[in-house]
Amino acid sequence: MDNRDIISKFEQRKDNMLNILHAVQNNNPNNYLTTEDLKLVAEYLNTTYSSVYGVVKYYSMFSLKPRGKYVIRVCKSPLCHMMDGDNLMQEIKDIIGIGLGETTDDLMFSIESSECLGHCAHAPVMMINEKVYKNLDSFKIKNVFQSIKLNEQK
Ligand code: FES
């Protein structure tokens, strides 16, 4: 879908900026926002490019460079950290074969860390795109990536 069509579904209010940016980023198969996207949002909301750029730079869920089809965000906040989050992060890196902040050459996966994802009672937690995975352990992590691989082979 064209980004202009996506943006036009939102009311022209500045408090819609985050939702608009999310929708536009989600429309990009490589999960990022281009300079043209930011200009389009600024124009639609009748604001400056730099104010949109500032918002994008502030929030870690937005990216200005291409990322994988699957963006893995691992919570690094204290509770998840205490519940073995570091080891789980290492397992994910080993499975995918890249480090934190990196993207696979085939643009399938990116690994990022995140502040609290809001599901502390189920630590440790990660998100892959919009889906939350709770109470993680080695077994669950292996299953998650196994099912992604199977889905990709269909
Ligand atoms: S501390 Fe990890 S979800 Fe809150």
For the chain, the domains span 3-58, 70-153
pLDDT value at residue 142: 96
Q: Is 103 in contact with 114 (CB distance < 8 Å)?
A: no
> Tokens for 19?
């939702």
Most ligand 1 atoms within 8 A of CB, residue of 82, 83, 86, 116 to mutate: 116
pLDDT value at residue 52: 98
H/E run at residue 126: strand 126-128
Question: How close is the Cα of 152 to the center of ligand 1, in Å?
Answer: 29
How do beta strands 109-114 and 70-75 pair?
parallel
Phi, psi of 68 (to 5 degrees): -70, 165
pLDDT value at residue 79: 94
Which atom of ligand 1 has the smallest separation from the CA of 78? 1
pLDDT value at residue 61: 87
- Other beta carbons within 10 angstroms of residue 72's beta carbon come to 28
Question: How close is the Cα of 71 to the center of ligand 1, in Å?
Answer: 17
Query: Nearest-CA neighbor of 51 among 20, 9, 82?
Result: 20
Which atom of ligand 1 has the smallest separation from the CA of 75? 2
Which residues of the chain register pLDDT less than 50? none
pLDDT value at residue 1: 84
Give ligand 1 pocket residues (Cβ under 6 A): 75, 77, 79-80, 116-120, 123, 125
Q: Using CA atoms, how far apart are residues 2 and 60, in angstroms rounded to an integer? A: 24
pLDDT in tens, 84-99: 989 999 999 999 999 9
pLDDT value at residue 91: 96
How do beta strands 126-128 and 131-133 pair?
antiparallel
Q: What is the DSSP string of 54-113?
A: HHHHH-TT--SS---SEEEEEE-SHHHIIIIIHHHHHHHHHHHT--TT-B-TTSSEEEEE
Q: What is the pTM of this model?
A: 0.85
> Tokens for 13?
């209010």
pLDDT value at residue 144: 97
Name the CATH superfamily housing domain 70-153: Glutaredoxin (3.40.30.10)
